[in-house]
Structure 1
Amino acid sequence: MDTASLIAVCRVRQLLEDGEGRVGVTAIDKQPLDGPVKVHKLGIHGDVQADRVNHGGEDQALYAYSQEDADYWVGELQREMPPGIFGENLRVAGIATTGAVIGERWKIGLDVEVEVTSPRVPCNTFQRRMGEPHWIKRFTEAGRVGTYLRVVKTGSISAGDHIHRLFVPKHGVTVGKWFSDPTPEDVQTLLDAEADREIRLQPEYHDEFEKILRRQGA
């Protein structure tokens, strides 16, 4: 789909002190980069994942946020939302991030391939970064959370690259659905898709499966 594009590739500008955070620093301060940027299995070349317990690793190598969702926040907050403000690595347009199906694959530019893995869960560091009252609650209720991506094929990307959907799993469970209201039926759907090797779930999903099934009395 040639209408989807990469607006910006963002990398940490500087580590900021985050005394209230778990590791004392945060790499949430991202800025757009010029020219081709290499993408490795752990994300953008030169980027930093300060807290790999809660963020990062191969299953959360990149964080993508859509321009459409950023525009929503421009209207809500009456301030600019430039690429990188959400701590995202990729600002994209014309392709859903929160609405992406878990396991969906994209090709970015000529050679990079990524796979949709999980929603972004807002944290206190994010709230301090945004400086907005009750930000975690507002971000959660809006449900415009964006998606983490696994790097399937490394290479280089640049702002302006086209994004093509290569594969959309049949199970239909989206990032937004999993973030907001997953059901026991969604759990079974994802387990079946994994068993059929249609998708590869990150290990944390199985812990969440148990919680959902207990909560629903299944």
Structure 2
Amino acid sequence: MRQIAASIMCADQFHLADELRRLEAADIQLLHCDVMDGVYVNNLALGPEYLTALRAATSIPLDIHLATVTPLKYVDMFQVAKPEYMSFHVEAASDAMEVIRRIKSYNIKPSIALNPETPVEAIFPYLDHVNMVLMMTVNPGFAGQEFNKNVLTKIAILKEKIKDNPYAPLIEVDGNINGHTVGLMRDALPDVFVLGTSTLFHQNDTYDYTTRSLKIWSEID
């Protein structure tokens, strides 16, 4: 079953309570929460107090994406938000299995993320230990970047790798996800789609969030 994760960083922060109610009414399955340290990426976003308050304000589960160095430190810092998923970058972890074990110790589902230029084979040793793989289709840090079509091959390779695995992780994609780019993934379709400014928020139209979120499937149904 395909799922939508709304990138909460892209929401109207001055009217966040209203945004949450609209997302709940649209049956959005996850809130994708980017945590950025200004070191691993050239941006800062979403501290633990913010995400803890967010968790208390909505019934939608959190999907925390740690775009940080020293992921173990941030796992400990952000576990208080009680997310459903927490992802860290394979590129930033000196011992990915240690990070996975730490996430699991907090009863959080681990996810492993990789950047567009990272070979997909880098995460193969961890596929039996994570619940989700976050495939970045842009470089993490800023919204509005161009979708990297090279990631399409990586998704296809990953789908082939896990096709006979009964415990296969979900595949999540993040970065300029819209009707067109979802259509490009038709032959190797991921499971979770992170929607932000290019599809869901700040659009100059009269559609509600339900209509906007369903509109992207028109390219593949």
Query: TM-score if structure 1 supplies the norm length?
Result: 0.31
Query: TM-score if structure 2 supplies the norm length?
Result: 0.30
The structure that is helix-richer by fraction is 2
